[in-house]
Structure 1
Amino acid sequence: MSNSPEWFSEAVAEPSTLQCVSVSGVSIAVRWWGRPGAPGIVLVHGGAAHSHWWDHIAPMLGDFRIAAIDLSGHGSSDRRAKYGLDSWTEELLAVCRLSELGPRPVVIGHSMGGWVSLNAGAAASEELGGIIVIDSPVRERSPEEIVASRKRAFGPLRVYPDEATALAHFRTVPEQPDSLPYVLDYVARQSITESSAGWSWRFDPNIFGTAKPRREMLARIEVRVALLRAEFGLLTPQISRDMYELLGRTAEVVEIARAGHHPMLDQPLSLIAALRTLLAGWGHSNPLVDNL
């Protein structure tokens, strides 16, 4: 890609394979990287996002078998009549149970995807090797839902006459002015789709208002957890401390310097370094969780 560093161009050029998995009658898209037989990782995007947000991250994580899911209503997955944290959790656990991932994969979720990951840990800790959440404050509503409720974004899907017009309207929520232009452009191009009517976004606007994280779920998690906090993100020091307490004071809390809520857009190499460090440590240690 023009105007992008070599590492980024090589990462997004890394081939992935697409698989569709049926979960409660809905087709869920899963994209794969890495060596079959290697330890498993499942990547979970945030609200209104999709698996391509991980295209420059997944190939950089090392020797793992990596699956990136499109939750229902997002990306290449089908839509549901009704969405919710529990149905998305069912989809995530269905992917975690795929034999190609091997036993107890590590789940990595961003923003709303972190809520889904934590809820999966509360429901089936014994099936997971660990959970890493990226700027995922456990509170009543996601930033996307707040903006949608104020009718500032994410209303009925607009249709644009051409690709350039659609790309010009791509925005992150919350806005992140320091996003790297080449990353933002790549993600934007993966976020639109063409139909006979024109160009539009690859998500169902009915997803908003359906994800309700429950604080009590944190106390039920019996697998190790790491909280990645973006310095300029939404997971504040106070919320981090509250989540740390509810997780039994065993979670690792790591701050990604100079990062906004979407660190894969503005600080991708720092995010990759943090994930690789955590994964390397977990690969050589046992979790210290009181109730295991």
Structure 2
Amino acid sequence: MADEATPPRDPRNMASQPTDDQLPLKAYGGAKPPAPDWFNEAIATPYENHRVTVDGADIVYQAWGDRSRPGLLLVHGNGAHSHWWDFIAPFFAEDYRVIAPSFSGMGDSDWRETYSFDSFADELIAVAEHAGLFDHAEKPVMVAHSFGGMVGIVAATKAGERFRGGIIVDTHIEPPGDDRPGPPRRTRPNRIYPGLPALLERFRLAPPQPCDNHYAVDYIARHSVKETVDEHGTPGLTWKFDPFIFNKLSPSWDQRDELSFDTRCPIAFMRGAESILMTPRTTAYMQTLQDPPIPVVTVPEAHHHVMLDQPLAFVSAVRGMLLGWP
């Protein structure tokens, strides 16, 4: 979600230069796009804020629903944060204790000097422990999107016996020999903007994609911002995420071919039908990483960010999986 990048060769690359239709907030001049009633009601639903220290970093998380209910752990993608789930979590809060953390280096959680898939997985497990999800007679379920899906798989190999299952949403592991989109390797800090309108108009999804639900994009963009000052002490706004996260993660990222799918709980895949990352070829390969093949649910008319493109269909798909699987 940065605008300093140069155009890449691979259109899937998260650093690709966006077109105007991939900058959906540009036309609004800082105003909020109109939103449907269901969305406004969902984001008005009260939630709790908590934090837990994991290996020296404070990890923040949000919670909906009563602690007496079974757990549902919602895991965001790279550069995102817990508020991506604010309009999704309330649909499950009557039946589940819903928890949405922000990884270190993202949202309001602390930044680290180095990152790894193991450390991110430890954060998920620690949050679930702190939130009491492992105390219920019914084990919790993870729903993990994109980069978060990789972390969810690692968590399922480390502590999967503590989970009922994991729904991995549009996470891509390409077949051996296929080209892979590279993560952004930054050389400059996040840009500082003089005000919210200038910052919002540059907000985009990564990898770039169109999204018709501008109200959802606007909501998460406004929760992606923090106050700061420039080198002259002038106040401004910038993005919350650590811009050098992939620089600091590169050794772990480069070893993702060695990612184990020996999960200790069942996993299932979900993908957007229009995703440029989890293509039919990639999906077919990923299914073979376990025997019997890993089940897949496809959400029609959704790109990579399934919960933004088709939020209500996403809720219905997850509900159906929770009722009939594993």
Same-fold call, TM > 0.5? yes
Q: 1:200 aligns with which of 228, 238, 241?
A: 238
Amino acid at match of 2:182: I
Amino acid at match of 1:110: H
Deviation at residue 181 of structure 1 after TM alignment: 1.0
Higher normalized helix content (fraction of residues): 1
Deviation at residue 219 of structure 1 after TM alignment: 3.3
- Is residue 76 of structure 1 aligned with residue 108 of structure 2? yes
Aligned to 2:119, the other structure's residue is in SS state helix
- Is residue 54 of structure 1 aligned with residue 97 of structure 2? no
Counterpart of 1:11 in structure 2 is 42
Aligned to 2:303, the other structure's residue is in SS state coil
Question: Structure 2: how far apart are the matches of 1:27 and 1:228?
Answer: 30
Aligned to 1:229, the other structure's residue is in SS state strand
- Is residue 242 of structure 1 aligned with residue 274 of structure 2? no
Task: Give a deviation string over 1:239-276, Cα, whole Å, max 9, x none.
Answer: 22222111222422000101011012211111111111
Q: 2:297 aligns with which of 238, 254, 262?
A: 254
Counterpart of 2:18 in structure 1 is none
Question: Structure 2: how far apart are the matches of 1:204 and 1:26?
Answer: 14
The alpha-carbon distance between structure 1 residues 98 and 145, as it changes in their structure 2 partners (threshold 3 A), is farther
Amino acid at match of 2:305: H
The alpha-carbon distance between structure 1 residues 73 and 145, as it changes in their structure 2 partners (threshold 3 A), is farther
For CA contacts below 8 A with separation 6 or more, give which structure has more relative contact order.
2
Counterpart of 1:65 in structure 2 is 97
Aligned to 2:173, the other structure's residue is in SS state coil
Amino acid at match of 2:64: W
Counterpart of 1:290 in structure 2 is none
Task: Give a deviation string over 1:79-134, Cα, whole Å, max 9, x none.
Answer: 11101111101101111223522343111111000000011011111111110111
Task: Give a deviation string over 1:188-236, Cα, whole Å, max 9, x none.
Answer: 1111112243100010012114252635544311311110011111111
Question: Structure 2: how far apart are the matches of 1:228 and 1:180?
Answer: 20
Question: Structure 2: how far apart are the matches of 1:3 and 1:194?
Answer: 26
Counterpart of 1:105 in structure 2 is 140
Aligned to 1:117, the other structure's residue is in SS state helix
Aligned to 1:193, the other structure's residue is in SS state strand
Amino acid at match of 1:205: P
Question: Structure 2: how far apart are the matches of 1:2 and 1:203?
Answer: 24
Amino acid at match of 1:12: I
Counterpart of 2:182 in structure 1 is 146
Counterpart of 1:35 in structure 2 is 66
Deviation at residue 145 of structure 1 after TM alignment: 7.5
Question: Structure 1: how far apart are the matches of 2:203 and 2:33?
Answer: 20
Give yes or no for contact 2:52–2:130 (8 Å, CA) kept in 1. Answer: no
Question: Structure 2: how far apart are the matches of 1:55 and 1:84?
Answer: 26
Q: Give the paired residue count.
A: 277
Aligned to 2:182, the other structure's residue is in SS state helix
Q: Unaligned stretches of 5+ in structure 1?
A: 288-292
Amino acid at match of 1:137: H
TM-score (normalised: structure 2):
0.80
Question: Structure 2: how far apart are the matches of 1:206 and 1:80?
Answer: 10
- Is residue 137 of structure 1 aligned with residue 137 of structure 2? no
Aligned to 1:194, the other structure's residue is in SS state strand
Question: Structure 2: how far apart are the matches of 1:237 and 1:64?
Answer: 32
Counterpart of 1:186 in structure 2 is 219
Deviation at residue 65 of structure 1 after TM alignment: 0.1
